[in-house]
Amino acid sequence: MNHGHPSQQNFYSSSSTINKRKHRDLSSDSSDLSDADSELQREAWAFVEQQQSASVLRAAANVSPTVTQTALSSPNLWENADNYVADSDDEAESVGSNNESESIDVEFPDMYGVWTEGHETDFTSFLRFPTSKQVSPKLWKKQREKWFADTEAVLPLLIIAVACLETVDIASSCCAAPNCSLVPSFKCYTCAVTVPSLSHFCSTHASGHWWDNHCHRVQDRLDRSPAPLTTPSGRTRSKKIRCCEAARGTGRRVLLHSLTGHEPAQLVTCPNHANGHEMCVVLLRDYGFFQSRVHNTDHAFSFQLVSLGLKLRSLGVAFQVSAEAFFGTDHKDARDAGLYQPYMDAVCQLAVIKHHTHHGTVTPELAEELGIGQTVCPACIGGDEPSGPAAFTMDGFESANKKSTERGGGGSHGSFEFTSVYFKEPAVQDVVAEAKAAKQTSRPKLGCDAQHKAGGVGGLKSVGKDIDMIIHVDCAAHSLVHRVYDVKGGERLVYADDVINWGKETFKSRGFVLGYDVACKELSHLDFYGLLQSIISTILFILFIPAMHVYAHGKDCLSLFSPRFLMGLGLTMDGEGHERVNSWLSRIIGLTQRETFENRRMDIVLFLEFYNWSKIRRLVSWTQEKLLATFAGLAEVKATLGHQWWKVEQAQYDVVVTAMTTLRQQLVERQNKDVPSTKEDLRLQIDQLARSILSMDKHLSRAPGTKMSKRLNGALNSTFLELYKKLDELNAMEPGNPPLTFAQVKAGLTPAAVESSQSDVDSFVRLYFRYCEDLFHHQNYLKNMVGFYERREMEHWRVVKEKVGVCDSRSKEAFMGLRRRRMEVEREHSRLAKEALNIFDADGEYASLYFEKHLGEIRTAFQSKDSVLSRQNFRSDK
């Protein structure tokens, strides 16, 4: 994938051109274009190069830009040179003349090639920048080569421009202050990029400008600041910020920092506000600066700087990196300057504040009544009457550990309360630990013939770690994180027990689907300790193993827990969303291993909050993409069946699910139930090693990165050596038989087909219902989004309005403004979800691809805890 491809308009935008070229190979050379098209393109590019060369020459000669009448007189060039961008409105004004009959109207495109007026023609749309899917590699190479050539040509001029911007380049002949004709000698670098015409001052007015504006960088040619203002008695004046009108005298010296500079000031506090709270409010509300500490602060940072630092931290940038970017100089870094810790404290304060303002819990009363707030999946949680089952997955992430203080990790100095909305502690009993304490000798079966580290019974922490890992619980369809556990002592099954208990209590009326790497072990664990019956007698409960992990299990687990075989999950829900979360977390998790407890949790929550709402931004569009893919699959099924489509209409969902469950149970019954012999045990070990090899090979095919690839290749080589040793040992037991090879072992890992009387038509009927399950789930997601935001507006934001109504007028207006902003965003999500539901209209273009009664049958199956979907994980003898 070429990430650098431009992504503006389509290369061929007219419908006629698309129809003529829709079967053309996208990787073909641009020379495949017609002669007329090629000539037109060369002519347009020649004009663009001519204009760019003229612009460079004009800039070098410092001549005002003009467009000659000769160039304008070529209608083909102006009509088709769509990639040409006008420099400014001044150039457009210079085109026209005072004579109205001689003036020429020209429409200039913006920087993305979208016309601001009029409409496009086939010729103008032809020269649009191509998308990454439609541009050929050779054409893209030519465009990039041209970019490098243009950059190299203009580089000497840009160097001069940057040098002028970074130094006191005084273009004005007089001071920018009103009624001052003195020659300027100072430049305000802050105003140079906002108000260039008011950025040069004489020595007298430079001091006044610096005094009137906080943290403006005003310097002369020798990088000296202007002389400070003085009192009539000759004493240097200092800026004072007072907590109220009663504050008098000399205050504490504080250094104010912004993105463009810094300056000292005095914080003057009256006796009534000695606790510093009022000064924090005044400094932030009236001046826009965050104090690093409430009491005795030495530094304060502008709101823009702290907001940018928080954004960078949410994206995984280390505090050390952003602090160095903001405060590092040629002489000192941020730590030596004493700014690293104050800056980090200010960002942490803003992180807590932003979390409350984002969720509307802006007062303690609101936080107590509504909770602190958490970004959850609106499509899975739903509103007052949510539709469909609640499907979640859970997975451990070992890289999210915390080093002990002996190994350089941080300690614990407190906690940020808002992190508790994600981080949970198990609320159920650890039945394994209790049985171990009671010296109970019997243990549950593993659940399959494979050995897995997850779900162990260990309880000791790893050496040198306070936290071994985290376990995160995500919605199975959209991968939004809802719960996180700090794991001490290994990934024990008590965490899965707690997730199931949470699902049973929270989604009692909907059914609960859980994906877990060792779902087979969890099911045996629940059955052995008597927990399973209370679950299946309360809700519809389905366990599955994520699609990529299930191949590391035995054939029985593949039959009973694979999302590709289980009915009810559709084809979209593969359960591997938690791996995508792990991939995102890996960007920042290394920074948290040596942090304090509170900072580590805050960083993880910041990242998860950003990850969640970034997924929500395109939740509707993602659902639409999946729906279109599902309808495409249904269209293929209908086209394949042809005149036998009537059999689909007569099929019943319950019958199909029952037949599929019976088929999977037959596969399990083929497994040998006796105690394996030495030879059989050796073969099981070979199968397990082969599964590990296939799993690692699949990871390597996904380009995991240099460091991970090195580890996987090393593990792959050692696993192959172990496998070949086992193969030699097994083959030595049967010298008369043909030797067993790795290829044969690999082929044997896939379950063999069961003899069945079902026809090929029946297999397409099953595929049809899998697609219908996808339709059912995605329709519910859209309905749940609408219901979630409607309930949130009627309940959550209504309470916010009532509670802030008792605040003072200034606070009320500010809080209501924040509320209005969030409601507008949520209303837009709800509107998009409502529009997307139109795809299910009875008279829509896709209505003929499925039968509404089948969606109703699937809905009925999920509404009953005793439906045919309820016992898919059990063997036939259960």
- DSSP H or E stretch at residue 424: strand 423-424
Q: Pairing mode, if any, of strands 299-302 and 390-397?
A: unpaired
Burial of residue 125, with CB atoms counted within 10 A of its CB: 0-12 exposed, 13-18 middle, 19 or more buried: buried
Write the CA distances from 734 to 136, 472, 738, integer angstroms. Answer: 57, 48, 8
Query: How far apart are the C-alpha atoms of 511 and 525, rounded to whole Å?
Result: 20
Query: How far apart are the C-alpha atoms of 555 and 665, rounded to whole Å?
Result: 11
**Residue in the block written with tokens 């037949």:** 659
Q: Can you read off the two tokens belonging to residue 483? A: 């719960």
pLDDT at 457 (0 to 100): 58
Query: How far apart are the C-alpha atoms of 613 and 616, rounded to whole Å?
Result: 5
What is the tens place of the pLDDT at every residue in 319-333? 989 999 999 888 888
- DSSP H or E stretch at residue 255: strand 252-257
Task: Tell whether the model's pLDDT for residue 513 goes beyond 90.
Answer: yes
Query: How far apart are the C-alpha atoms of 264 and 304, rounded to whole Å?
Result: 18
Mean local confidence (pLDDT), 613-635: 95
Cβ pair 395, 401 in contact under 8 A: no
Cβ pair 653, 854 in contact under 8 A: yes
| Highest mean pLDDT of the ranges 127-131, 272-276, 608-612 | 608-612
pLDDT at 14 (0 to 100): 36
Cβ pair 43, 166 in contact under 8 A: no
What is the tens place of the pLDDT at every residue in 668-707? 776 555 555 678 778 878 888 888 888 888 878 876 777 7
Query: How far apart are the C-alpha atoms of 75 and 104, rounded to whole Å?
Result: 11
Q: Among 357, 350, 427, 410, which residue's Cα sits nearest to residue 592?
A: 410
pLDDT at 413 (0 to 100): 86
Query: How far apart are the C-alpha atoms of 641 and 400, rounded to whole Å?
Result: 50
3-state secondary structure of 456: strand
Q: Pairing mode, if any, of strands 252-257 and 299-302?
A: parallel
Q: In terms of residues, how long is the chain?
A: 878
Backbone angles phi, psi at 201, to 5 degrees: -140, 155
Q: Which of the 8 DSSP states describes residue 229?
A: P
**Cβ–Cβ contacts within 10 Å for residue 429, how many?**
13
Q: Which of the 8 DSSP states describes residue 130?
A: P
**Cβ–Cβ contacts within 10 Å for residue 514, how many?**
22
3-state secondary structure of 713: helix
Lowest mean pLDDT among 196-210, 381-395, 454-468, 803-817: 454-468
Q: Can you read off the two tokens belonging to residue 103? A: 């003036």
Query: How far apart are the C-alpha atoms of 416 and 774, rounded to whole Å?
Result: 40
- DSSP H or E stretch at residue 396: strand 390-397
Q: Can you read off the two tokens belonging to residue 52? A: 């760019």
Q: Can you read off the two tokens belonging to residue 605? A: 């929550």
Task: Tell whether the model's pLDDT for residue 170 goes beyond 70.
Answer: yes
pLDDT at 133 (0 to 100): 52
| Highest mean pLDDT of the ranges 64-68, 236-240, 473-477, 526-530 | 473-477
Task: Tell whether the model's pLDDT for residue 647 goes beyond 70.
Answer: yes
pLDDT at 138 (0 to 100): 86
pLDDT at 681 (0 to 100): 77
3-state secondary structure of 403: strand
**Cβ–Cβ contacts within 10 Å for residue 793, how many?**
14
Mean local confidence (pLDDT), 106-127: 40
Burial of residue 706, with CB atoms counted within 10 A of its CB: 0-12 exposed, 13-18 middle, 19 or more buried: exposed
pLDDT at 68 (0 to 100): 35
Write the CA distances from 666 to 584, 750, 757, 877, integer angstroms. Answer: 40, 15, 14, 11
Q: Among 91, 114, 119, 85, which residue's Cα sits nearest to residue 104?
A: 91
3-state secondary structure of 466: strand
Cβ pair 737, 679 in contact under 8 A: no
Query: How far apart are the C-alpha atoms of 359 and 374, rounded to whole Å?
Result: 7
What is the tens place of the pLDDT at every residue in 171-216? 777 898 888 888 888 988 888 877 887 888 998 899 888 888 888 8
Question: What is the DSSP track for 360-380?
Answer: T--SHHHHHHH-S-----HHH
pLDDT at 800 (0 to 100): 94
Q: Among 320, 474, 450, 287, which residue's Cα sits nearest to residue 395?
A: 474
Task: State whether the Cα torsion 344-350-352-358 is positive or negative.
Answer: negative
Write the CA distances from 609 to 368, 511, 614, integer angstroms. Answer: 20, 26, 8
Query: How far apart are the C-alpha atoms of 98 and 120, rounded to whole Å?
Result: 29
Task: Tell whether the model's pLDDT for residue 118 goes beyond 80.
Answer: no
Cα dihedral 466, 340, 362, 417 in deg (nearest 10) = 10
Q: What's the start-to-end Cα distance of the chain, in Å? A: 49
Q: How many helices (H) and strands (E) does the chain have?
A: 33, 16
What is the tens place of the pLDDT at every residue in 347-370? 999 999 999 999 999 999 999 999
Burial of residue 384, with CB atoms counted within 10 A of its CB: 0-12 exposed, 13-18 middle, 19 or more buried: exposed
3-state secondary structure of 288: coil
What is the tens place of the pLDDT at every residue in 426-481? 999 988 888 888 877 666 665 665 566 666 655 566 788 999 999 999 999 999 99
Query: How far apart are the C-alpha atoms of 441 and 457, rounded to whole Å?
Result: 13
Task: Tell whether the model's pLDDT for residue 98 goes beyond 50.
Answer: no
pLDDT at 84 (0 to 100): 34
- Beta-bridge mates of residue 115: 109
Query: How far apart are the C-alpha atoms of 59 and 50, rounded to whole Å?
Result: 14
Please tell me which residue, 684 or 336, carries the higher pLDDT value: 336
Query: How far apart are the C-alpha atoms of 456 and 461, rounded to whole Å?
Result: 13
Backbone angles phi, psi at 487, to 5 degrees: -100, 125
3-state secondary structure of 739: coil
Please tell me which residue, 784 or 65, carries the higher pLDDT value: 784
Query: How far apart are the C-alpha atoms of 244 and 232, rounded to whole Å?
Result: 25
Mean local confidence (pLDDT), 117-141: 56
pLDDT tier for residue 750 given thresholds of 50, 70 and 90: low
Mean pLDDT across the chain: 80
What is the tens place of the pLDDT at every residue in 24-36? 333 334 334 344 4
pLDDT at 877 (0 to 100): 63
Question: Which percentage of the chain shows pLDDT scores above 90?
Answer: 39
Query: How far apart are the C-alpha atoms of 698 and 138, rounded to whole Å?
Result: 32
Residue 243 C-alpha from the chain's centroid: 41
Task: Tell whether the model's pLDDT for residue 22 goes beyond 80.
Answer: no
Q: Among 581, 627, 605, 399, which residue's Cα sits nearest to residue 476?
A: 581
Lowest mean pLDDT among 8-22, 449-463, 611-625: 8-22
Task: Tell whether the model's pLDDT for residue 765 goes beyond 90.
Answer: yes
Annotated domain spans of the chain = 15-163, 167-237, 262-359, 378-616, 663-748
Query: How far apart are the C-alpha atoms of 205 and 183, rounded to whole Å?
Result: 11
Q: Among 514, 566, 461, 421, which residue's Cα sits nearest to residue 869?
A: 566
Query: How far apart are the C-alpha atoms of 379 and 75, rounded to whole Å?
Result: 53
Task: Tell whether the model's pLDDT for residue 126 goes beyond 60.
Answer: no
Q: Among 216, 157, 155, 204, which residue's Cα sits nearest to residue 179?
A: 204
Task: Tell whether the model's pLDDT for residue 246 goes beyond 80.
Answer: yes
